[in-house]
Amino acid sequence: MSSASKVRSPHHPRSRVARAPALQWLAGTLALGLIVLTASCEMAQEPLGPEDASSPPGHAAFSLASHLEARGSSIHGYLAPTLDVVSMEDGIGICAAWSDPALADGGFGTDLFSFDFDLRDAEASDEQGVTVWTRLASVRGDADGQAACIKLSQDEFTGAQAGLGEGDAWLRADGMARSGQGRSTWVHHTSPAYLVNEASHPDPEDGASAVLGPEGGQVILLDSNGEIRAVLIIPAGALLEETTIGISPEADPALGDRGFAVPGTSVFLSPSGLEFVTPVSLVLAFDRGTLPLDTDPEELEIHRLNVDGSTTSQPTAVDVGESTATATLSSFSGYVLLDEAQSIVDQVSLWSGGASPDPRDWHDPANWAGTGRVPDQFTPALILADVEHFPRITSPADVGNLTIREGASLEMVGVGIGVHGSIVSEGTFTSEGGATVTMFGPGTRSLVGSLPNLGIQEGTTVLSGNVNVDGRVLLVGNSPTLQVGAHVMEIGGELLVAGSDPARILMTETLGRVIVHGNANFTAPWPGEAPLQAGTLELRGNFMQGQAAAFRTAGNHRTLFSGEGIQLITIDEPDVPGTGFHALTLGNTSTELMLQSNVRAEFLNWADEGVGARISGGSALSVRNSALIRGPVSVDELRIGGRLSWSGHPYLVSTTVFTGEGIDILQPQTIPHVPYQDVVVMSDDATLEDEFVTVRGDFRILDGSFRADRGRLLTVRGNLVTEGDGGLIMMDDDRIVVYGNVDFQGAFREPGLDGGRLWIGGDVTGSYGARNEHRTIMFGAETQELENEFAIRNLIITNVGPGVNFHQGAFPILFLDLIGNSRILEGVQISVFHVNFRSTSRTIFERDSWFVCSTGYNEIGASVWSDGGMGGCNPPLTRSQIDTTQRPPLEEYDLPSALDVQITSPLQGITVGENQSITFSASASMGGAAVDVTFEWISSRDGILGTGSTITVEGLSAGVHTVAARAETSDGLVGLDFIVVRVTEPATINVMPATAEAARLSTLSFTAEVLDEFGGTLGDTQVTWSTSNACVASVDEFGTVTTYSGGSVQITASAGSAQGSASLTVEDAPSGVPATVAGQWRVCEVWTGDYVGLLDIEHAEGEVDISGTFTWAPGTYSLLEGNSRWFNERLTAVWAMQFLGGERIVGINNAAAVNQETLSGTFDPVSGGMYPVQLVRIGGE
């Protein structure tokens, strides 16, 4: 046998059923799938010339160049190598040497380099392809990295690449190879090489071989379909000298009752009896579709075939997902993969079809070859494409393994099929009436291909490739498992993991993906570890979780919601730890995720494709780790355990809770600038992330501690409360403004209120104490109650209302600066080290109150009034005796404020029509006072809308808009506010009244109610009114209808593609003949109902004396003559003719009486196109 690998001819007939792809793990290193050689390549060898060239055995030598020229210049700074053709055992070699000093360090020896061959016959035309003696190639650098060789052998070949990366040789067909360091070397050669006689191609079933030495290598055997059948791996050190190693396919052995030989796995390794220093590995690929039902793939073993016909098992590892078995060998012989257990079935039922009376009847044994019987639960069934009639199942059926090859089909009508083994569905598999493929039985089975509906009742079903299910997937029964692996399953209908017994979808690979177009319902529990650990579950319908253990995630699993419109999430036990989503992701900008219950997730984010998607619902969303919000959120409560990131979309969350669950114990949880309503802090350590953070409602510290940190400003429009173990810390330049009350009921957190400034606009209660440089400023405009139990270090009163009432007695104050109004209540005792009575202050001491200070300063104008109180300062200081520390400038107490922007119109969440105008208005203030700013309005869909505090926009584009009002002061302070505006095309129009009746020549009004796709009213949407017959009634732009003649008519309102109509019936005029033709006649076209013109006959006397005007589209014309003579209730032929400048323009002919107020006739424009008309008198007899 030649040492060259035997390759199937392109025209070699298919000799067996194709097996499922195997050994995919090998493709990356052997893309052309052949042998790694280790032949020595010494650069000292002399180039091989034509005179000493020898062709491969069985091939005619055409010519061989003595040298292959290197083309190309240096690449990436490295010189291209020189090439030499050298003699090698069983072939020729191309060796390359580098002379570039930059490579002298040998670093390139283990780097990746490649050869690109384009070898042609020098005497052949450019169009003539050349088959070159090369299929496999090995490349090896020498010790100092200055040389490498590639060996050529048999193949049809026009280009290939080979390289060495980290010591492993590789081969591939297309593309430029680059090293891990970005280096790449290309060499082009055009010299002629061996020309192979096409007729002398070897038989591909002869096997493959290679000369391998102590360095080791691999030999790969392909089957007739080009798929890997077996791989022989020789590790380094297993051989002591170079040896020709061969592997060839053998016929499946007949083992009788000694076991079942897996078809297509018998091979012979040569030389026979060869022994190795260390064991070698043999990898055999098998097709699970050929296994009998009772064969468990995990129990398969590779056996040595002995001379006496017996077999000896070898240590074997089976990879069920890859359909491979690997054994370690110490010597060569024949080997086969087998199941030693006696098989109940030793053949496959092969569909042949064509039997009478029904050539497609699954249940007719005559339609089956192989076993000659209808498959049952123990029998594999194989359906190939080379038959005329494909099977159809019309009554319940069972099968072992089911294989439908590409081009074949199977149809189920009304009933399903039970599969007790594996499924390979490469062809077409359809059903009628919801028929389902149900997988039964314990153990592990595989699944790949397309199915109509799928049920899994027991055992583990492993995807061995991508799966597409047109309908639903149901897991229910005796602990069924669907193992996705690194594959994709797409489900066109619903996914149900149901029942009271355990059931699960197992996802452990990052590349695994399950796409569900319908609803997903998880009600079956799984008691073990979380089954959803990696990959993506993509949902385009609703999600429902029936119990806590039914849906559990971990690792890096992601649940992606990507449906169009509203998707509901309903969880029965949402607050049980360990349940919920790992990564909850929105993946479609049109998605609105509506929470029907509380929801838990480890992470919350929006994919790039989902930016703008909305989360809504009256529930709580708990995120244990980080949340990246890139769309509108409108929920009752959002709990954040890690970092909250906000991209500026509407944030309509009633309460935001910072739990700190996902934060490292040494790191604080930061609170960014977001338009909060209420905030609750439960984190051990929470600080502000941005310079300005505003809370429009209450700020509660329930656990842990909070501080503004590093001069940042927290503004609380509501109340500030500490409770339980929660404590407030203020240091340095921290600033907090509370417009409401402050209630300290929580714990003291070291260092407490040690610095910074706290502005309070309401009451103070609880255990409030401060020290050192901390300042408390009471700035309210109403009565403020000060009821704290501990000392306040520095207290400033700027109250401009009735004042601050001091309730508690005997608490010391280091510094008291009275700028506004205050009152010391009855019986209260206050001790102050230093007090300032500013000129703007007013202080009242009630009866029995007591006030004492060490030093004090009174400004002229200060008002101090006593109603029986006592106290004073000894001695009082003069202005020259105090400094700025005792009398700070009033600017230090100014209320700090971030710019507060409010959109005042329209209302949040308004829905308008696509062509409807909408007015936006906003205001800006700081500390409650209006400020001058510049406004810019931006839409998330339409960009910049305009500038100014009020703008009117005509027709936003259809969709959901986040509209932002951006305000900026002259000194660069920026504020934002947002609203959501939904712009939708009208979907429904209701015209009212829906039906009406009216007399002739009357008016009535119709109105139109325009609704969007969700049933919401689109107010002020402009509609277009029309009538189906202008002869009966007309309608104006406001929906006002005028009736003319008897009959029925539809009054229609239109807006965009939406329409709505009402039915109107108009009573007929009295029957008979008009007494005169004088009057105003409305002329309408009978066929279309369109208005033609107005005929005003002012005078009608005698047979020809008719005069008046006719108003028609081209203009107004005089009526000069006509004839009104009656004959059997019909006027004579030419009743009226219109003239202009002596030339006839139009005529109304053959007029006949319909009733006393209606005539019929024809309209005859001289320009052509005569058509029937109706004339209705509307007045002026």
Domain ranges, ordered by start, for the chain: 1-228, 250-339, 761-888, 900-984, 988-1066, 1079-1179
Average pLDDT on 1059-1082 reads 87
Given a cut of 90, whether residue 402 has pLDDT beyond it is yes
Task: Give me the pLDDT at residue 1157, please.
Answer: 85
Task: Give me the pLDDT at residue 333, please.
Answer: 86
Which pLDDT band holds residue 714 (cuts at 50, 70, 90)? very high
Neighbours of 411 (CB within 10 A): 18
Task: Give me the pLDDT at residue 1118, please.
Answer: 59
Average pLDDT on 382-386 reads 92
pLDDT, the chain, mean = 77
* 250-339 CATH pick, 3.10.580, 1.10.3470, 2.60.40, 1.10.150: 2.60.40
For 580, which DSSP code? B
Task: Give me the pLDDT at residue 1106, please.
Answer: 62
Given a cut of 70, whether residue 985 has pLDDT beyond it is yes
Average pLDDT on 684-698 reads 91
- What confidence tens digit (pLDDT) does each residue in 145-154 have? 344 444 444 3
Q: Is there a contact between 531 and 556 (Cβ–Cβ < 8 Å)?
A: no
Q: Of 550, 545, 542, 590, nearest to 568 (Cα)?
A: 542
For 881, which DSSP code? G
Which pLDDT band holds residue 934 (cuts at 50, 70, 90)? very high
Output phi, psi for 1132, to 5 deg: -65, 170
For 394, which DSSP code? -
Average pLDDT on 117-122 reads 34
The CA–CA distances, whole Å, from 353 to 381, 396, 409, 612 equal: 13, 19, 12, 55
Do domains 900-984 and 1079-1179 share one topology? The answer is no
Most confident of 125-129, 406-410, 827-831: 406-410
Token code pair at residue 315: 């240590």
Q: How far apart are the first and last CA of the chain?
A: 118
Given a cut of 60, whether residue 69 has pLDDT beyond it is no
The dihedral built from the CA positions of residue 383, 385, 390 and 392, taken in this order, carries a sign that is positive
Average pLDDT on 12-17 reads 28
Given a cut of 70, whether residue 644 has pLDDT beyond it is yes
- What confidence tens digit (pLDDT) does each residue in 1027-1046 have? 999 889 999 999 999 999 89
Most confident of 85-89, 252-256, 502-506: 502-506
Task: Give me the pLDDT at residue 674, please.
Answer: 92
Biggest CA–CA distance in the chain, Å, is 134
Q: Is there a contact between 189 and 134 (Cβ–Cβ < 8 Å)?
A: no
What are the b/e assignments for 857-885, b being 16+ CB within 10 Å?
bbeeebebebeebebebeeebeeeeeeee
Q: Which residue has the higher pLDDT, 62 or 768?
A: 768
Least confident of 368-377, 709-718, 815-824, 1161-1170: 1161-1170
Virtual torsion, Cα 589, 595, 599, 602, nearest 10 deg:
10
- Which fold is adopted by the domain 988-1066? Immunoglobulin-like (2.60.40)
Cβ-based neighbours of 535, under 8 Å, separated by 6 or more: 484, 507, 508, 509, 510, 511, 512, 513, 514, 557, 558
- What confidence tens digit (pLDDT) does each residue in 329-355 have? 988 889 999 887 654 444 688 999 999
Task: Give me the pLDDT at residue 1077, please.
Answer: 76
HSE-up (13 A, CA, CB side) for residue 545: 26
Rounded CA-CA distance 119/133 in Å is: 10
Token code pair at residue 692: 């300005």
Average pLDDT on 430-434 reads 90
Q: Which residue has the higher pLDDT, 1169 or 990?
A: 990
With pLDDT > 70 as the criterion, what percentage of the chain qualifies?
Answer: 76
Q: Is there a contact between 1010 and 1058 (Cβ–Cβ < 8 Å)?
A: yes
Q: Is there a contact between 788 and 813 (Cβ–Cβ < 8 Å)?
A: no
Q: Is there a contact between 900 and 694 (Cβ–Cβ < 8 Å)?
A: yes
The CA–CA distances, whole Å, from 173 to 15, 34, 117, 159, 843 equal: 26, 12, 10, 7, 94
> Is the backbone peptide bond immediately before 986 cis, with ω within 30 degrees of 0?
no
Which pLDDT band holds residue 885 (cuts at 50, 70, 90)? low
CATH no., domain 900-984: 2.60.40.10
Q: Is there a contact between 701 and 726 (Cβ–Cβ < 8 Å)?
A: yes
Task: Give me the pLDDT at residue 646, please.
Answer: 92
Task: Give me the pLDDT at residue 347, please.
Answer: 67
Given a cut of 70, whether residue 604 has pLDDT beyond it is yes
Least confident of 212-226, 256-270, 875-889, 1077-1091: 875-889
What are the b/e assignments for 1080-1110, b being 16+ CB within 10 Å?
bbbbbbbeebebbbebbbeebeeeeebbbbb
The CA–CA distances, whole Å, from 832 to 797, 850, 860 equal: 14, 11, 21
CATH no., domain 1079-1179: 2.40.128
Given a cut of 90, whether residue 175 has pLDDT beyond it is no
Q: Is there a contact between 603 and 582 (Cβ–Cβ < 8 Å)?
A: yes
For 103, which DSSP code? G
Average pLDDT on 862-884 reads 71
Q: Where are the alpha helices (DSSP H) in 519-562?
A: none
- What confidence tens digit (pLDDT) does each residue in 274-304 have? 888 889 999 999 988 788 766 778 889 999 9
- What confidence tens digit (pLDDT) does each residue in 1107-1123 have? 677 777 666 665 655 55
Q: Of 1059, 1025, 1024, 1020, nearest to 911 (Cα)?
A: 1020
Given a cut of 50, whether residue 963 has pLDDT beyond it is yes
Token code pair at residue 978: 């947002």
Task: Give me the pLDDT at residue 1033, please.
Answer: 93
The CA–CA distances, whole Å, from 745 to 502, 727, 761, 848, 1072 equal: 48, 9, 18, 29, 96
Token code pair at residue 21: 């792809």
Cβ-based neighbours of 976, under 8 Å, separated by 6 or more: 648, 675, 901, 964, 965, 966, 967
With pLDDT > 90 as the criterion, what percentage of the chain qualifies?
Answer: 40
Task: Give me the pLDDT at residue 997, please.
Answer: 94
Most confident of 16-20, 330-334, 561-565: 561-565
For 389, which DSSP code? S
Q: Is there a contact between 727 and 747 (Cβ–Cβ < 8 Å)?
A: yes
Q: Which residue has the higher pLDDT, 935 or 134?
A: 935
Least confident of 158-162, 768-772, 913-917, 1143-1147: 158-162
Q: Which residue has the higher pLDDT, 478 or 1106?
A: 478
Q: Which residue has the higher pLDDT, 977 or 342?
A: 977
Token code pair at residue 339: 């199941």
Given a cut of 80, whether residue 193 has pLDDT beyond it is no
Q: Of 1016, 1089, 1094, nearest to 1052 (Cα)?
A: 1089
